[in-house]
Structure 1
């Protein structure tokens, strides 16, 4: 019998035996001593409890606190939170007396008291208790002597006739619109986390973790909201499913010689390409298919050594062109006409024929109306004196789309404007590459890479200059990141080097086959949704694409060209569109895999021909060959009739 009692069996009732066994197991589990929680575990429990409380799962919070023995907050802080949430302002102020010693800064206690009284005042006005509100204003807010401007503003609200007028004039949504919860979020910043947790702390940590994974993802190139990224596994886009230009979608072979440079307009609607034989093509970008079609053709003359530089104005209307050799002028075409001007302004532009005399006695006449009208296929020429000794081979626009700088290896470095032509110069600056950026005071500075391996900053408004960085070798080309804080330099025998312009330190060296050898003028370009991709031409007939700040420093290789890739351009609006220009006389359009395959299928269905060499590669291994469509070499039916030839 004793043994039966111990086993929980009474009169042979096996059901009672099972129940008693379960109860005994539960009791044993309850009586078991849990191992003590370390500091990290205690903090995690607090964060989970806060998250459950924000979800409204109060019973789960109570169970968590009871089982873990870990309070979410200081008891006085918990009472303070409860009183503010319930609008019990006297009790909230009383709790603040015990919390005052825990505030991070003594001055913050006054601000906390001010914000509590401000909320109380607004709620009294909303309820129509004007005498109570006036009492708070006079006896609580004013004596604090804090933010007197806000106190004066609050005093004007007492004239509101009802709650609706109060909401409209003050912009305060009301006590039922979550303003108490918002007040608590504001007040939590004044307390250390051990006393009162920052709002939505667990969600903030999860969002930061997801954002870090997105930043490290090799191919991520979309604006996917952080809340839509799964937490169950690390984020990683696949190459063929991402908005990454992995495959060739079009091969355009209209050029008859080596294509040296390419650049998209800032609005992403046009692409400009320049050739060794002096041809300049303007391509139209189809918004739906992202296919290119020739819109205009210009020619600067083969005797100039071909096209060396193309630059779009920030408003996407004007295209600037520099020749490769022995060219003392800069050419500017108007690709897109400006909006219609008011009659007075139009008349002023029509008669703006300006001439400026220069120290050497030369005079350059610039008709700004002809540049801005877009009515002629002839370019406007800009030069200082037009002497044979001058050579302008690189240029860059100012943000106003009116001024630009131009320079060359022979020591010329000029500032021009569309209205007046030549304006100012720095003497004896042998310029290799140019860019502009906004300086600390908000004005524009010109960055010039020179023949001494330096990048120097020049201010034409103050005529001040300074050296930003010094390279060990000769700089061949330069481009700036979207935020103008990082410069990518192509350095002879050193590959691409990324420089932080603010701290003036080298961040990273990017090397690869065909990037580091020799002195070829290979142009690079930042791109992608956040500007975290860097693409570059190379001598190995491929384009190389890096994810800046990514976990893998090896580039993706886009192969398909049969000659050196001289230049790349990333569409600033269509972030998955990349163009490469090559010595094989073609330009290639690289698109996300889905878009590229869709374009190929459309061309096959319409009777177009598909190229068989349009493959793309990752690192050193090529993907399977994918179709790439050729643009016909004959005249394009969409091409404009205003082609210009400059002899």
Structure 2
């Protein structure tokens, strides 16, 4: 027989005994009992440790002194778990004493043996248990056996490896290995299953890399022309339900439009309140906007123009951009070098300071992260929970003079895309500070990008060259030709 302690695998990191034991456990959990028994017999390795097998038999037989000795002999058991295990044993033992009518023995054990092993609080709990159990009445052998099995199940929750293996341990290890491979895959952008037959690695055709369509003036059929603003429109926001549109005039008011009819439903702002940015709440029933004038603050309105909440006053800086988290619980606001996160319900505020001016903001679809573009030619990624001391930094694009907008994209917001003043579109994996793709096609500054939230391999970019480009994966493009 091979030495059970020998290592297997090319790296020598896996112990044969542990590996076989995990296989036995997996066979049992998959329902292959005969195969598991055969492997146990052939390898002389049981799916259960000898201590666990002995403890199980003693509990089911009601040999409580032996059970206590086994628990006390377990070197891998921490004292807190040992105390809890002993508590379970004494509780079962005492309940059986009461069931037999041997109250004097139960009290003797409770007074003389238990205090030496358990803390006072647990002794009191046991004492209360005796009186409650006394009211239950007599139990037959089958009921006693079921109680012992329940005691064993509770006991197993306290036992650490290698005494007891966690349920589905081998599957857990395999899943972690798959997750590690996915995390190392810079192009991973699919929720399709990952095969165990080979190492996982996606090709670049999982993300948008080639132009599918170029849209220019004169090539598009307009549904509506919204022409109520008197100044250039600097900001637009679709409602999550796609029925309404918000537009901000540059240094002007905020307007709410009906998408189907093209009519203006409401006008917000005015009378000295200059709107600079806007966003929708997830329910499409409330909207928020910020002012570019210091002290004017931030307002939450419903679609009828009723003010729901506001943050205003002399301390409020001018707002350059804002966003609502997907759960609607937090509002993130940027102004110059400051990032503020407001709790919408409690109005509490958290502040993050940047070293350079912030030009734009975007929140991930899962609500865990947000990114800000800085005029220092960096994009910073922060966690919405504000637990990080420092952001993740992404570099490579060019941003010095103009407002450049970036966005999250792909499966689980795994990618970041940004325009650039060098006419390129840059794409990063969220775990890599350097771009994984640089897309050429535009002739002038790319101001804004938008990653399709449903089609994870589609990206749109808008440029000063007067075009909007739709990008897709290279393989799909070659097939379409």
Bucket of the pairwise TM-score, normalised by the shorter protein: 0.7 to 0.9
Change (3 A) 1:296 1:107: farther
Residue 183 (structure 1) shift: 11
The equivalent of 1:378 in structure 2 is 263
User: Equivalences for 1:5-24 in 2 at 5 Å?
Assistant: none
- Determine helix, strand or coil for the equivalent of 1:506: coil
Q: Counterpart of 1:317?
A: 243
SS at match of 2:381: strand
Tell me how far 1:546 sits from its aligned partner.
Answer: 1.0
**Helix, strand or coil for the counterpart of 2:223?**
strand
Give the C-alpha shift of residue 220 in structure 1.
1.1
Q: Is the 8 A contact 1:476 1:519 kept in 2?
A: no
TM-score, structure 1 normalization: 0.57
Going from structure 1 to structure 2, the CA distance change for 1:545 and 1:75 (only over 3 Å counts) comes to same
Within the candidate set 455, 459, 462, 1:574 is matched to: 455
- Kept after mapping to 2: 8 A contact 1:528/1:576: yes
Task: Flag the 1:96–1:250 CA change in 2: closer, same or farther, 3 A.
Answer: farther
SS in 1 for 2:413: coil
Distance 1:46 1:75 in 2: 14
1:434 shift after superposition:
0.3
Query: Aligned-pair distance for 1:576?
Result: 1.7
1:532 match: 414
For structure 1, list consecutive stretches of 5 or more residues without a partner in the other structure.
Answer: 1-29, 118-134, 159-174, 257-292, 336-373, 602-647
| Count of aligned pairs between the two proteins | 422
Per the TM alignment, residue 581 of structure 1 is displaced from its structure 2 partner at its CA by 1.4
Tell me, what secondary structure is at the counterpart of 1:405? Answer: strand
Q: Is the 8 A contact 1:545 1:555 kept in 2?
A: yes
Decide whether the 8 Å contact of 2:364 with 2:370 is kept in 1. Answer: yes
Aligned to 1:209: 177
Displacement of 1:553 in angstroms is 3.4
Find 1:52's aligned residue among 24, 35, 38.
24
Displacement of 1:208 in angstroms is 0.3
TM-superposed deviation, 1:80: 4.8
Q: CA RMSD in A?
A: 4.1
Distance 2:63 2:20 in 1: 26
Q: For residues 353-407 of structure 1, what are the alpha-carbon distances to aligned partners after superposition, in whole Å with 9 as ceiling and x for unaligned?
A: xxxxxxxxxxxxxxxxxxxxx5x321223324x23x4421211122332222212
Cα offset, 1:596, TM superposition: 2.8
Within the candidate set 546, 559, 562, 2:428 is matched to 546
Question: Paired residue for 1:417?
Answer: 302
Deviation at 1:311, TM superposition (A): 1.7
Change (3 A) 1:146 1:197: farther
CA distance in 1, matches of 2:65, 2:415: 56
Residues 111 and 146 of structure 1 are in contact (CA less than 8 Å); yes or no, is this contact kept in structure 2? no
Does residue 1:230 correspond to 2:199, yes or no?
Answer: no
Find the residue that maps to 1:222 and give its secondary structure.
coil
In structure 1, C-alpha distance between the alignment counterparts of 2:306 and 2:448, rounded to whole Å: 29
> How has the CA–CA distance of structure 1 residues 249 and 42 changed in structure 2, closer, same or farther, with 3 Å as cutoff?
closer
Query: Match for residue 401 of structure 2?
Result: 519
Aligned partner of 1:190 in structure 2 is 158
Matches of 1:489 and 1:402, distance apart in 2: 26
| TM-score for both structures, normalised by structure 2 | 0.74
Residues 580 and 589, structure 1, Cα contact 8 Å, conserved in 2: yes
Q: Are the structure 2 counterparts of residues 36 and 45 from structure 1 closer, same or farther at C-alpha, using a change threshold of 3 Å?
A: closer
Measured after TM superposition, the shift of residue 487 of structure 1 is 2.0
1:505 match: 389
- Structure 1 residues 580-637: Cα deviation after superposition (integer angstroms, max 9, x where no partner): 1111222122223343334x44xxxxxxxxxxxxxxxxxxxxxxxxxxxxxxxxxxxx
Alignment correspondent of 2:114: none
Bigger relative contact order, structure 1 or 2 (CA pairs below 8 A, ≥6 apart): 1
For 1:109, the equivalent position in structure 2 comes to 85
* Structure 2 equivalent of residue 74 of structure 1: 49
Aligned residue for 1:503, secondary structure, equals coil
- In 2, are the aligned partners of 1:499 and 1:505 still within 8 Å (CA)? no
What SS does structure 2 have at the residue aligned with 1:554?
coil
Task: Give the corresponding residue for 2:30.
Answer: none
Residue pair 1:403, 1:418 contacting (<8 A) in 2 also: yes
Would the aligned equivalents of 1:429 and 1:450 in 2 still touch at CA under 8 Å?
A: yes
What residue in structure 2 maps to residue 472 of structure 1?
355
Report the counterpart of residue 331 of structure 1 in structure 2.
Answer: 255
Residue from 360, 378, 386 that aligns with 1:495: 378
Shift of 1:461: 5.2
- Within 5 Å, give how 1:150-549 maps onto structure 2: 188-225=156-193, 228-230=194-196, 233-240=198-205, 242=206, 244-254=207-217, 296-300=223-227, 303-305=230-232, 307-323=233-249, 325-327=250-252, 329-335=253-259, 376-384=261-269, 386-387=270-271, 389-411=272-294, 412-413=296-297, 414-423=299-308, 424-427=310-313, 428-437=316-325, 444-451=329-336, 453-459=337-343, 462-467=346-351, 469-501=352-384, 502-514=386-398, 517-549=399-431
How far residue 523 of structure 1 moved from its aligned partner, in angstroms, is: 0.8
Match of 1:629 in 2: none
- 1-side partners of 2:328 and 2:369: how far apart? 18
- Cα 1:250/1:189, change in 2 over 3 Å: farther
Which consecutive residues of structure 2, in runs of 5 or more, have no partner in the other structure? 28-34, 94-98, 107-123, 140-145
- Are residues 570 and 182 of structure 1, via their aligned partners in 2, closer, same or farther at CA, if it must alter by over 3 Å? farther
Indicate conservation of the 8 Å contact 2:459/2:470, yes or no.
yes
For 1:460 and 1:77, locate their aligned partners in 2 and report how far apart those are by CA, in whole Å.
52
Map of 2:442 onto structure 1? 561
